[in-house]
């Protein structure tokens, strides 16, 4: 006990240490405790022990703003001063997911760039996985986003030195491709703003994107530019979640309206994936031949949550197209078609299944109807995953 304090005052300050550790003291009490800790070793040790214990009681906080808060702030800013070139709604999910991943990477310590990351995907009729690192995941995103960048006419990211890149490499030598990826993602968003238009208005050659099976439509059809941007947003979110899990950071799902666009893209991919598994002899159900314009069998896919809705998936003919209904509307399938099964999943669970991060057996699925078709649709969703 410092000689300047009496036993009673010392006891009073000791009694405040718990509240001080929880940041529950008044300003005056905090100042008294801080002054006391500078001259009392035993109390200083106890205060540090209590502060460490208090951190265990706090739930982990996200590194970035909550997705819905970021959207609200941007909307408010643009309401006061409209953007000269607003980002079209179909590119907004990529804009947000790239920004969120960048915020995660900005807080990365040098050694965390070498943290192992386990990637997992479904191919054929088996699950595969490969170990990699945080730095290599960003390198993969740089490469895959680069295909879209080339498709919209952007040059390859400049590899020359800049002050920002040099500072990033000094801070985290293993970050490698992070500054290039960030520069490329921003260029893609600017390109989308310059192109503008509504979803589906512009297209790019399917072969330019490197993986025909990732997109709705037949092999010869061009890919909607809006779908290509949504695909990049989906992959960006999935890999950001992989990285966050590896370094033990919390990571929220995308903003609800954006998540629904990603769910919708995934649902529209299903008919071609079902057909592909049938062609490969991997399906358990058999297709029913139908004539053009005749009613088709469908699976009613109900996705719950902020990104949810109702989709009717044609299970015999990819060309029939997927019908979508908003979550708050009365779900009615296409007139004349026959809904032979009903599957219910949460929005994030559905996307994690399509990303290959969970198996159909691990997914929490409500199901009713033809079990063989349900099996094939769930595995067709898993087959959408990529390395």
**Predicted local distance difference test score (pLDDT) of residue 166:** 42
Q: Can you tell me whether residue 310 is helix, strand or coil? A: strand
pLDDT digits (tens, 9 = 90+) for 13-65: 788 777 777 666 777 777 888 888 877 888 888 887 877 676 555 544 445 55
What does residue 276 show for φ and ψ, rounded to 5 degrees?
-65, -40
Closest by Cα among 325, 327, 323, 268 to 298: 323
Instruction: Give the whole-angstrom CA distance, residue 312 versus residue 332.
Output: 9
Cβ-based neighbours of 34, under 8 Å, separated by 6 or more: none
Could you tell me how many residues make up the chain? Answer: 387
Taking a C-beta distance cutoff of 8 angstroms, is the pair 318, 271 a contact? yes
Structure tokens at 283: 């399906």
**Predicted local distance difference test score (pLDDT) of residue 330:** 59
Give strand pairing partners of 203.
Answer: 224
Closest by Cα among 91, 94, 96 to 71: 96
The residues of the chain scoring below 50 in pLDDT are 1, 59-62, 78, 158-173
- 233 alpha carbon, distance to own chain's centre: 7
Run of H or E including 39: none
**Predicted local distance difference test score (pLDDT) of residue 170:** 40
β pairing state of 203-204 and 223-224: antiparallel
**Predicted local distance difference test score (pLDDT) of residue 169:** 41
Instruction: Please compute, for residue 179, the number of CA atoms within 13 A of its CA located in the half-sphere on the CB side.
Output: 18
**Predicted local distance difference test score (pLDDT) of residue 357:** 94
Instruction: Give the whole-angstrom CA distance, residue 60 versus residue 250.
Output: 7
- 194 alpha carbon, distance to own chain's centre: 25
């Amino acid at each position: 006990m410092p000689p300047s304090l009496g036993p009673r005052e010392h006891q009073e300050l000791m009694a405040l240490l718990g509240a001080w550790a929880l940041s529950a003291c008044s300003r005056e009490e905090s100042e008294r405790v801080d002054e006391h800790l500078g001259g009392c070793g035993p109390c200083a040790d106890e205060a540090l022990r209590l502060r460490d214990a208090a951190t265990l009681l706090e739930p982990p906080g996200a590194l970035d703003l909550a997705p819905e808060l970021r959207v609200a702030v941007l909307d408010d800013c643009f309401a006061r001063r409209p953007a000269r070139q607003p980002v079209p709604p179909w590119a907004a999910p990529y804009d947000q997911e790239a920004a969120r991943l960048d915020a995660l990477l900005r807080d990365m310590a040098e050694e965390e760039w070498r943290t192992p990351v386990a990637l997992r995907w479904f191919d054929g009729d088996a699950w595969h996985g490969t170990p990699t690192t945080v730095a290599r995941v960003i390198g993969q995103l740089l490469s895959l986003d680069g295909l879209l960048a080339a498709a919209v006419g952007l040059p390859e990211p400049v590899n020359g030195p800049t002050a920002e890149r040099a500072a990033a490499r000094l801070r985290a030598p293993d970050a490698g491709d992070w500054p290039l990826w960030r520069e490329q993602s921003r260029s893609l968003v600017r390109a989308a703003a310059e192109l503008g238009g509504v979803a589906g208005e512009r297209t790019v050659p399917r072969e330019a994107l490197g993986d025909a099976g990732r997109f709705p439509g037949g092999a010869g059809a061009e890919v909607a530019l809006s779908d290509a941007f949504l695909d990049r947003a989906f992959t960006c979110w999935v890999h950001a979640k992989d990285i966050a899990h590896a370094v033990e950071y919390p990571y929220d799902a995308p903003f609800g309206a954006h998540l629904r666009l990603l769910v919708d893209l995934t649902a529209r991919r299903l008919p071609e994936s079902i057909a592909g598994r049938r062609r490969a002899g991997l399906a358990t159900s058999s297709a029913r031949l139908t004539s053009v314009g005749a009613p088709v069998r469908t699976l009613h896919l109900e996705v719950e949550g902020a990104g949810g809705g109702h989709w009717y998936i044609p299970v015999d003919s990819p060309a029939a197209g997927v019908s979508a209904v908003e979550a708050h509307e009365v779900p009615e399938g296409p007139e004349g078609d026959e809904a032979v099964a009903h599957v219910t999943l949460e929005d994030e669970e559905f996307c994690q299944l399509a990303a290959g991060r969970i198996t159909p057996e691990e997914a929490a699925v409500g199901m009713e109807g033809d079990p063989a078709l349900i099996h094939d649709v769930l595995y067709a969703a898993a087959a959408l995953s990529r390395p």
